[in-house]
């Protein structure tokens, strides 16, 4: 088992989740319970890994990272969550096909709007890479 990777992953998730909540509070001066829950999942899974509760921590880390892979805007609904680094691409099909790259930190978007024409899908590569390593480490536990 690669304890160095697990420690770095734990710190990454803990710090990213805390910054996600603090950033949201700082800029919007309000609390969104879903934002707190999702970033709280990141904080808790990081805490478990640092506490060396590897089985539970890795399982929650997988869930946490899966929630960060795809962002979508479709039929007036928007959802995108990233606790940490976002490095990926997007496809915007709203009025024309636009493909672009995205690099961000800590993203939280969830809304329902009357703009039902927007169609945008984004993919974040960082959680895909992390999930690969998490599954490798999880396999070493058994």
**Cβ–Cβ under 8 Å, residues 78 and 113:** yes
104-134 pLDDT per residue, tens: 999 988 888 877 888 999 999 999 999 999 9
Q: Under 8 Å CB-to-CB from 59, ≥6 apart: which residues?
A: 138
Note down the domain range covering 85.
3-141
Average pLDDT of the segment spanning 87-100: 93
DSSP structure string for 88-121: EEEEE-SSS-EEEEEEEEEEEEEEE-S-TT--EE
Closest of 107, 127, 88 to residue 35, by C-alpha:
107
Q: How many folded domains does the chain comprise?
A: 1
Length of the chain in residues, anyone? 142
9-43 pLDDT per residue, tens: 999 999 999 999 998 888 776 677 898 999 999 99
């Amino acid at each position: 088992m690669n304890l160095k990777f697990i420690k770095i992953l734990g710190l990454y998730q803990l710090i990213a989740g805390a910054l996600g909540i603090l950033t949201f509070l700082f800029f919007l001066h309000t609390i969104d319970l879903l934002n707190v829950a999702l970033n709280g999942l990141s904080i808790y899974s990081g805490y478990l890994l640092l506490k060396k509760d590897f089985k539970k921590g890795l399982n929650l880390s997988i869930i946490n990272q899966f929630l960060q892979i795809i962002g979508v805007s479709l039929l007036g609904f928007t959802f995108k969550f990233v606790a940490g680094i976002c490095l990926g691409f997007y496809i915007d099909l709203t009025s024309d096909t636009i493909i672009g790259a995205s690099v961000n930190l800590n993203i939280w978007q969830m809304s329902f709007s009357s703009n039902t024409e927007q169609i945008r899908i984004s993919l974040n590569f960082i959680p895909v890479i992390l999930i690969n390593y998490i599954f490798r480490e999880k396999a070493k536990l058994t």
